[in-house]
Amino acid sequence: MRAQLARDFERFGRSLPRDFAAHVHETYRIDLSAHYLGELLPHPVGKGSGQLSLNTKQLEEDADAGLAFVILKTVIAQDEAGAQTMAAWAIHETKMKVEQRRAASGAGGWTVTWKGRGWDRSFDEYLSLVRAGRDLARAGRLLAVPSVKYHLPRLHEPFRDGEYRFTTQALATAWGTGPLLVEKDFSPTLAGDALADDRVQILRWLREVPSQIRAHAPVRLALKLMNARFDDAFQVEMLQAASGADSLVVFNRLFDERLGVAYGGWDLSDRNLRVLDTPGLRPGLVMPELCGTGNIHSGRMIIEYARRGCSSVQLHTFLQLPLGEYPAVNGSRTQRALHKLIFDPADGLIAGLLELEDRGALERRSGELHFLDLVPDAYRPR
Ligand SMILES: Cc1cc2nc3c(=O)[nH]c(=O)nc-3n(C[C@H](O)[C@H](O)[C@H](O)COP(=O)(O)O)c2cc1C
């Protein structure tokens, strides 16, 4: 199998088949199935919300590459009259810098430095993108899920129901049949804002936002949790307060107060994995489904998140590196990233799963290895 993997790595670096998960199943008897928001996926790798999911062309390219899912750029909620309490997040900024960032541990990694925030075009344009995503999902080509930043009140204030109602209903109409799948973003710039200075206020948002959204349409809801500017114990409190969601995305980027920007790299994955490792977080506690995010650049890192409860992962930075950083010689960035994540003979997902089998840490069932067997029971969907 190792020789086969070396051969696949070599040839798929020239051209990655869209249905590579079926090839993996047939050739290695490895079932890469995963899930996000209760939807079954052929493999665990999706794209996080951001500048790489702004238009139909990007979605088409990801569908062709065989990405499992995409979260659309975060739109700022509005009411019928177009008023947006969180308007400060709808700012326009095009310049992004992909750069190296050394972590506190000394490890070198990548981060994207960008001063922008949410969707900066009209809400109608966003609805068109949601419809384009819906069509791709119906054609079985790509699951594309909208993301929203809704109003978050101060402790003594009510939620702006008009913004929750108008935005949720408009998205549900654009989505069409069945429950609306939607992600609610608590972003790193929010973590850096004075609004997020108060722990009690943050915990109230996490407890109450799910019912605020659910009041207006049938939804399956993911909350993308921020890395708040408090200690690890508070991250755990946030996880527990957010139990009204169907899925939790853990955890969005860190906020550098000195530079006033969000960042990732090894500091982000070190913190996320450490928090997910917290004794007492499991076993026994039935959590909503988890989806990992943060510095995922190898199959081994996907395994680290999976063993801590994540049944899928969403990436941004690794889908944005200079082309020379990928071993593949052809294809879109998404194809090149998938090629490395899945097939790299040293630290790809297949290599990592085979190694776990060799060590006796993962067993075949009816002759097959299953990615989802990495995920502890406490995190399976309720
Ligand atoms: C330039 C940029 C823009 C982003 N915009 C959003 C956003 O609008 N909404 C959101 O939920 N996450 C956003 N993110 C966070 C990513 O989706 C992802 O969760 C995070 O960067 C961690 O993954 P990574 O280390 O693979 O980049 C953004 C990230 C970057 C780098």
Maximum average pLDDT range among 191-200, 205-214, 256-265: 205-214
49 close to ligand 1 (CB < 6 Angstrom): yes
Give the integer Cα–Cα distance in Å for 138 and 324: 35
The string of pLDDT tens digits covering residues 29-85 is 999 999 999 999 999 999 999 999 999 999 999 999 999 999 999 999 999 999 998
The minimum-distance atom of ligand 1 relative to the CA of 48 is 17
Closest to 249 in 3D by CA, of 172, 169, 318, 309: 309
Categorize the per-residue pLDDT at 242 as very low, low, confident or very high, splitting at 50, 70 and 90.
Answer: very high
35 close to ligand 1 (CB < 6 Angstrom): no
Q: How far is the CA of 149 from the centre of ligand 1 (A)?
A: 13
46 close to ligand 1 (CB < 6 Angstrom): no
pLDDT of 284 above 70: no
66 close to ligand 1 (CB < 6 Angstrom): no
The SS3 assignment for 96 reads strand
Categorize the per-residue pLDDT at 285 as very low, low, confident or very high, splitting at 50, 70 and 90.
Answer: low
pLDDT of 327 above 70: yes
Tokens found for residue 108: 């070198």
Q: Which phi and psi (to 5°) does residue 147 adopt?
A: -135, 140
Strands (E), 14-60: 30-31, 34-36, 39-41, 45-47
252 close to ligand 1 (CB < 6 Angstrom): yes
Residue 239 or residue 269, greater confidence: 269
Closest to 247 in 3D by CA, of 276, 219, 280, 212: 219
- Answer whether 184's CB lies under 8 Å from 220's CB: no
What's the mean pLDDT in 345-367?
Answer: 97
311 close to ligand 1 (CB < 6 Angstrom): no
188 close to ligand 1 (CB < 6 Angstrom): no
Hey, whose CA ends up nearest to atom 12 of ligand 1?
A: 49
1-15, 268-282, 368-382: which range is least confident on average? Answer: 368-382
% of the chain beyond a pLDDT of 70 = 97
- Bond preceding residue 12 cis, omega within 30 of 0: no
Alpha helices in the chain (DSSP H): 2-12, 20-28, 56-65, 123-138, 161-175, 188-191, 199-214, 232-241, 266-276, 299-307, 333-343, 349-358
74 close to ligand 1 (CB < 6 Angstrom): yes
- Answer whether 142's CB lies under 8 Å from 71's CB: no
Residue 47: left (phi > 0), alpha (psi -120 to 50), or beta?
Answer: beta
The string of pLDDT tens digits covering residues 146-162 is 999 999 998 889 999 99
Q: How far is the CA of 124 from the centre of ligand 1 (A)?
A: 23
The string of pLDDT tens digits covering residues 87-138 is 888 777 778 999 999 999 999 999 999 888 889 999 999 999 999 999 999 9
Give the integer Cα–Cα distance in Å for 64 and 69: 12
pLDDT of 283 above 50: no
114 close to ligand 1 (CB < 6 Angstrom): yes
The minimum-distance atom of ligand 1 relative to the CA of 268 is 25
pLDDT at 360: 97
pLDDT of 296 above 90: yes
| Residue-wise DSSP of 137-155 | HHTTS-EEEEEEE-----T
264 close to ligand 1 (CB < 6 Angstrom): yes
Hey, whose CA ends up nearest to atom 14 of ligand 1?
A: 50
DSSP 262: E
- Answer whether 147's CB lies under 8 Å from 49's CB: yes
271 close to ligand 1 (CB < 6 Angstrom): no
Element spanning 228, H or E:
none
Give the integer Cα–Cα distance in Å for 117 and 190: 10
The SS3 assignment for 306 reads helix
Strand partners, 249: 224, 291
Task: Using CB atoms within 10 Å of the CB of residue 177, give its burial: 0 to 12 exposed, 13 to 18 middle, 19+ buried.
Answer: exposed
Q: How far is the CA of 185 from the centre of ligand 1 (A)?
A: 10
296 close to ligand 1 (CB < 6 Angstrom): yes
The SS3 assignment for 251 reads coil
The string of pLDDT tens digits covering residues 336-355 is 999 999 999 999 999 999 99
The string of pLDDT tens digits covering residues 156-188 is 899 999 999 999 999 999 999 889 999 999 887
Categorize the per-residue pLDDT at 194 as very low, low, confident or very high, splitting at 50, 70 and 90.
Answer: confident
- Answer whether 331's CB lies under 8 Å from 16's CB: yes
pLDDT at 279: 76
Mutate-to-test residue for ligand 1 from 45, 49, 184, highest number of ligand atoms within 8 A of CB: 49
- Average pLDDT along the chain: 93
Q: Please tell me the pTM assigned to this model.
A: 0.96
Hey, whose CA ends up nearest to atom 22 of ligand 1?
A: 294
